[in-house]
Amino acid sequence: MSLSLAPGGSAARSSGPSSELDALGASERTSRPIVTGTSVLGIKYQGGVMLAADTLCSYGTMAKYKDARRLLEANSGTLIGGGGEYSDFQAISMMLKANAMEDRCLSDSLYDEDDGTTEESAKEVWSYLRAVMYNRRNKMNPLWNDLLVAGFDKKSKDGKPFLGFVDKIGTAYEDNCVATGFGSYLALPILREKYRPDLEEGEARALLEDCMRVLFYRDCRALNRIQIAKVTAESGVVIHEPYEIDTSWDSEAFVQSKGGLDEGDGGWLYSSSLLFGSVVSAARHVSPQMQFLSFYMMCERLFYVLHSFMRVDDSPAIVTVTSFTSYFAPIA
């Protein structure tokens, strides 16, 4: 199957049906996010820009992939972080790598020690992604991602750090600290409160770790295994290996009883025992018929809970709801 380099550096298939779906005129697009990553955080500090993200991708509500890297190097001076649909983020990654390869092929030299003035700056990559996202949105085929772009402009003399945000409909802005997903609600206020233009690298890293810890506590799609990357004018893009942050569940909000339960974990077994106790206590003051009815309802509820954990098949060892209820029916 032949490939052609489309304008803008993206790889596209040559004309003609490439599959049976194309021949049938079927739609091949992401109609809704399936495998998604959550928040990405970014902050400027003295001498660079730092991004942080966890490594979890969720399949719906299931924490399925726990080593999904969502921070990537677009070129030697640009760092990208993405939340949302992971397959769309992979498509953006391939697109940016194709652009970087095209820039390298069109440059005057292929050596890494050159100044690399033909490379796109971080702001140019951010502007390009804004156009791509807005274009896809207008075609009703968006890339379901919120992106952070961080880096330096090697072409300018001042070499100021850059940090920008782009969402799936092409909305874009720059700021000193930005976040995607639930991080824009839970972590961004913390970043804005603690931010200073003269933040050291260690302070910025500790601040991002604190924010990722808060997200792990409060966001059910977050994980305590995170990845941090930075961009500096001297060393360029540096992406660290993932590691786990320390967590503590000793907070009163986490350990205090919920739902009026003074003890126990609140699980189905404990709640069922409470129900049995309340039924027995109340049965002392009612007629025998009501005692049996209350006991029957409690047993039926407990059976439904147990049945949800059992494998239902034709085996005689597995009890069904029909056989359970028919056992009590003659007595009633």
Q: Which residues belong to the active site? A: 30
Helices (H) and strands (E) in the chain, counts: 10, 16
CA distances from 222 to 66, 67, 278 (A): 10, 12, 38
Tokens (6 digits) for 17: 């049906």
Instruction: Select from 78, 192, 73, 182 the least CA-distant residue to 127.
Output: 78
Work out the angle at residue 211's Cα, subtended by the Cα atoms of residues 209 and 216, and round it to the nearest 5 degrees: 90
Q: 210 — alpha (psi -120 to 50), left (phi > 0) or beta?
A: alpha
The span from the first CA to the last CA of the chain, in angstroms, equals 72
Alpha helices in 144-262 (DSSP H): 183-186, 188-194, 201-218, 252-255
Euclidean distance between CA atoms 41 and 179, whole angstroms? 4
